[in-house]
Amino acid sequence: MQVLGRFEMRSGEFRPLWIVRKTGGTYGLRRGGLHDEVSATVLTPPWRIRESILNTSIADRRRFLQAGAASLATTALASAPGLARAARTPPLKALAIDGFTTFDPRPILALTEQLFPGRGAELSSLWRTRQFEYSWLRTLMGRYADFWQVTEEALVFATQQLKLELRPAQRDQLMQAFLSLKAWPDVRAAFVALREAGIRLAFLSNFTDRMLDAASHSAGLADLLDPHLSTDRVRVFKPHPRAYQMGVDAFGLPREQIGFAAFGGWDAAGAKAFGYPTFWVNRTQQATEQLGSMADAQGSNFEALLLWALGS
């Protein structure tokens, strides 16, 4: 059992000391300084506290979230699974999120293999690579087309390059799969905790509004988000600075108070170069891009992102 953080919180006439401990994959909370010491086992992350167990008011819990997050993140950063480098300041008031950090693409990969047995992995890799390359090339050429079109054109190229026959029904199946994506299992709890801590959330993504709307509802996240910031608004794709500027304009905050959660290393580099405090959700354990800027921190999951975002 490891102590991850201690938080003092004024509550009535006493100042209880909350000690957050972790054993395996679960967290416990212990209230020190009282004879009737209370302990509880809760789901990760630790600030998802059950009020009935801890017997705290809403106001107390909010104070705990705001005052205690810094100590927790600072103490836990070194031991949190998948988290590298330190927390940042000033405190974040908003978080702009790339769609691929949130939506799990594995059903699309499985469908690709189902439609093209034995070639699915190869096709998926080439399709994904061309998807982003086409977005960058179109931005450089000044020939913007939305991400739905770019994705479809990349699919057509990839099948032609691999000499695979792509029938219209197969193309429609693969494209429609982007509208029914689910979230990674660690996402919703992190989104709820961030919102309860007063941090606004919005996708800042190459996805079209239609793609973001459909996937957000499919994943059960629509109620937690500010309006989407699709690159369709500015007609350039990330990592162009105009794409990142959407967050500043929409949130009405200085960039130093807006965190950015990137899925791709190139996106992390672009966001950091723009001036956002940046976290790289490196789910696939990719090497760091050599682009002259890098994320402030990285981790393999949203629990690590949450620790970082609440870390000031």
Active-site residues, by number, are 98
Query: Is the CB of residue 20 less than 8 Å from the CB of residue 29?
Result: yes
**Half-sphere exposure at residue 107, Cβ-oriented, CA atoms within 13 angstroms:** 15
First to last CA, the chain: 25
Cβ–Cβ under 8 Å, residues 78 and 4: no
Query: Residue 235: CB partners within 8 Å, gap ≥ 6?
Result: 144
Tokens of 288: 């760091």
User: Distance between CA 297 and CA 309 in Å, rounded?
Assistant: 10
Whole-angstrom Cα Rg for the chain: 21
Cα angle for residues 49, 62, 89 (degrees, 5° grid): 105
Q: Are 282 and 265 in contact (CB under 8 A)?
A: yes
Q: For 69-110, what is the HEC assignment?
A: HHHHHHHHCCCCCCCECCCCCCCCCEEEECHHHHEECHHHHH
Q: How far is CA 207 from CA 84, 136, 169, 291, in A?
A: 28, 14, 22, 23
Tell me how many degrees the CA angle 260-262-264 measures, rounded to the nearest 5: 155
